[in-house]
């Protein structure tokens, strides 16, 4: 029973991280090609053109792309191995992920003064991934104790 | 490590997600169909400016209570003023349900247009968007020098209601689902902001 619940959580984490990768690719290509982002509000363009959307010259979506890719890869590897370090790796990356998206959301609100819809969707996505990872981790610890 | 049934499922999920996004990307990159000038611009429109014979025409579906429409208004104004002989601009009504005063504001603009003051009312409504009310319309009648009796009659007339309904019906038919929505020479624009509209119109004029 616990095994199937863990499998289900890993599937959700994998699906959400692949969606995160695709969102990050879409937004990143707009940053690199300097083309407008299709968005339900005008915030995406304000955020894209802001210097605050670059960290040491690296566009913010790059971090999303790397983070989501690592999570997707680790979730995939979990289908082939029961090594607990894989789950711990996802937990570490998603913890960094929610800290990162929280920082960037605050930057959008207080420094840039606009909200990018794709960033908000990505932030929510990362929070859901973190929640499922934490749940899986707690279940795993419980099983070990 | 060994390939399990779950691994194969994940590969399937990955390919499915890629396929869904691929199809969505393909569909969204298809060009919007062009709407003919006759369909886009009502023959007896009183909310047009610029040159009716210009080869470039811009049609906006807008709502006086929509903040984004107000943000676009000065840019549109500048585009038309600097290209008076080269562009024909038509304003069409698309008051959204979530804006309680949107429809009344559209009625007021149509009533003012019957007295030749559509653009004066247009500017007045956008300038005072935060305080739209019946009292404000009474102020507008005085400030813009409109005949009150005629204004009230036109404001409430069936013809005014039908004009708004026709604009909304046409907007729905042409794929308008948000305001402002612009059509440049019949092509629906997906704009990131007001400045993009300016550059697209300038490109079209210099073609």
3-state secondary structure A35-80: CCCCCCCCHHHHHHHCHHHEECCEEHHHHHHHHHHHHHHHHHHCCC
From chain B, the residues in CB contact with A42 under 8 A are 68, 71, 192-193
Q: What pLDDT sits at residue A113?
A: 86
* Min Cα separation B51/chain A (Å): 30
- Mean pLDDT over the full length of chain B: 92
DSSP state, residue B133: S
The Cα A61–Cα A122 span in angstroms is 10
Chain-chain contact of B13 with A36 (C-beta, under 8 angstroms):
no
- Distance, in Å, from the CA atom of A31 to the CA atom of A45, rounded to the nearest integer, reads 10
Element spanning B88, H or E: strand B87-93
Residue B85 has a pLDDT of 93
Q: Provide, as residue numbers in chain B, all residues whose Cβ is less than 8 Å from the Cβ of A11.
A: 9-10, 13
Asked if A80 contacts B3 with a C-beta cutoff of 8 angstroms, the reply is: yes
Q: What is the pLDDT of residue B25?
A: 82
Smallest Cβ–Cβ distance between B193 and the set A14, A45, A80 belongs to: A45
- Report ipTM for this prediction: 0.83
Report the DSSP beta bridge partners of residue B62. Answer: B93
Query: Residue B192: pLDDT band by 50, 70, 90 thresholds?
Result: low
Q: What is the pLDDT of residue A3?
A: 58
Tokens of B173: 């038919």
φ/ψ of residue B130, rounded to 5: -70, -20
- Quote the DSSP letter at residue B65: T
Geometric angle at alpha carbon B42, from B165 and B63, rounded to 5°: 50
pLDDT of residue B176: 85
Residue B26 has a pLDDT of 84
Q: How many CA atoms are closer than 13 Å to the CA of A67, on its beta-carbon side?
A: 27
For residue B185, pLDDT over 90 is answered with yes
Which tokens sit at B46? 């009183």
Tell me the two tokens of residue A102: 């929280």
- Environment class of B173 (CB within 10 Å of its CB; exposed 0-12, middle 13-18, buried 19+): exposed
Q: In what order do the strands lie in the sheet with B87-93?
A: B48-50, B87-93, B56-62, B181-184, B187-188
Lowest mean pLDDT among B23-37, B125-139, B143-157: B23-37
> Each residue of B60-76: pLDDT tens digit?
999 999 888 999 999 99
Look at chain A and count its residues: 145
Q: And the tokens for A19?
A: 């969606």
Residues 95-114 of A with CB under 8 A from B: none
Task: Determine contact: A116 vs chain B, CB below 8 A.
Answer: no
Give residue B115's pLDDT band: very low, low, confident or very high (50, 70, 90).
Answer: very high
The pLDDT confidence band at residue B49, using thresholds 50, 70 and 90, is very high
Nearest chain B residue (CA) to A30: B192
> Considering chain B, what percentage of its residues have pLDDT values greater than 90?
76
CA nearest neighbour of B97 among B206, B179, B10: B179
What is the predicted pLDDT for the residue at A145? 61
Residue A76, pLDDT score: 96
> Can you give the CATH number for the domain in which A131 is found?
1.20.1440.130
Class (C level, CATH) for B37-205: alpha beta
Question: What is the domain count for chain A?
Answer: 1
Please determine, for residue B121, whether its predicted confidence score (pLDDT) is greater than 90.
yes
Euclidean distance between CA atoms A135 and A127, whole angstroms: 12
Ranges of chain A with pLDDT below 50: 1
């Amino acid at each position: 029973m616990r095994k199937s619940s863990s499998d289900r959580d890993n599937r959700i984490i994998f699906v959400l991280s692949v969606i995160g990768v695709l969102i990050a690719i879409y937004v990143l290509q707009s940053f690199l090609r300097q083309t407008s982002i299709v968005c339900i509000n005008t915030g995406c363009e304000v955020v894209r053109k802001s210097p605050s959307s670059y960290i040491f010259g690296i566009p913010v979506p790059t971090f999303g792309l790397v983070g989501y890719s690592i999570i997707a890869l680790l979730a995939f590897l979990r289908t082939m191995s029961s090594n607990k370090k894989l789950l711990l790796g996802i937990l570490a990356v998603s913890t960094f992920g929610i800290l990162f998206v929280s920082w960037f959301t605050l930057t959008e609100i207080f420094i840039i003064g606009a909200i990018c819809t794709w960033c908000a969707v990505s932030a929510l996505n990362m929070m859901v991934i973190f929640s499922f990872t934490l749940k899986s981790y707690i279940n795993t610890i419980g099983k070990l104790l | 490590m060994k390939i399990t049934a779950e691994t194969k499922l994940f590969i399937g999920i990955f390919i499915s997600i890629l396929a869904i996004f691929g199809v969505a990307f393909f569909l969204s990159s298809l060009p919007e169909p062009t709407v003919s000038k006759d369909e886009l611009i009502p023959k007896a429109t009183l909310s047009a400016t610029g040159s009716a014979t210009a080869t470039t025409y811009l049609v906006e579906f807008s709502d006086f209570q929509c903040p984004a429409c107000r943000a676009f208004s000065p840019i549109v104004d500048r585009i038309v003023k600097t290209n008076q002989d080269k562009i024909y601009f038509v304003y069409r009504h698309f008051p959204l349900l979530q804006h309680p005063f949107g429809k009344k504001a559209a009625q007021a603009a149509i009533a003012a247009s019957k007295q030749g003051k559509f653009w004066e009312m247009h500017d007045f409504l956008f300038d005072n968007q935060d305080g739209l009310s019946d009292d404000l319309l009474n102020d507008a009648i005085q400030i813009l020098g409109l005949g009150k009796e005629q204004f009230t009659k036109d404001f409430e007339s069936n013809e005014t209601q039908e004009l708004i309904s026709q604009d909304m019906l046409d907007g729905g038919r042409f794929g308008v689902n948000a305001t402002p929505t612009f059509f440049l020479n019949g092509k629906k624009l997906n704009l990131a902001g007001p400045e993009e509209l300016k550059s697209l119109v300038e490109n079209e004029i210099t073609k």
